[in-house]
Amino acid sequence: MKKTWIDKDLCIGCMACVEMDETDTLFMDEDGFAEAKDNDLELKECQMVCPTSAVKIKE
Ligand code: SF4
């Protein structure tokens, strides 16, 4: 289960969320888009810096 997850259809690979993430949950995948490890975190700062609203948090 991922609480914070990435909508790949919206991600443009800018890396802002990965640079903001101090928990090392988000990373860039081999295609150059952000991806999230399994987590139960609300990475709101990462969500806020994403220019395309691709960082999603499950309620
Ligand atoms: S900040 Fe948004 S657009 Fe940039 S890499 Fe992260 S999810 Fe993708």
Q: Kindly report, residue by residue over 2-57, the tens digit of the pLDDT.
A: 999 999 999 999 999 999 999 999 999 999 999 999 999 999 999 999 999 999 99
Ordered domains of the chain (ranges, CATH): 4-57 (3.30.70.20)
In this prediction the pTM is 0.95
Regarding the beta carbon of 54 and ligand 1, being less than 6 Å apart is answered yes
Residue-wise DSSP of the chain: -BSEEE-TTT-----HHHHH-TTS-EEE-TTS-EEE-SB----HHHHHH-TT--EEE--
pLDDT at 33: 98
Q: How many residues does the chain have?
A: 59
pLDDT at 41: 98
pLDDT band at 59 (very low <50, low <70, confident <90, very high): confident
Q: Name the residue of 7, 44, 50 whose CB sits within 8 Å of the most ligand 1 atoms, as the mutation to test its pocket.
A: 50
pLDDT at 32: 98
State in Å: Cα 35 to ligand 1 middle.
9
Regarding the beta carbon of 34 and ligand 1, being less than 6 Å apart is answered yes
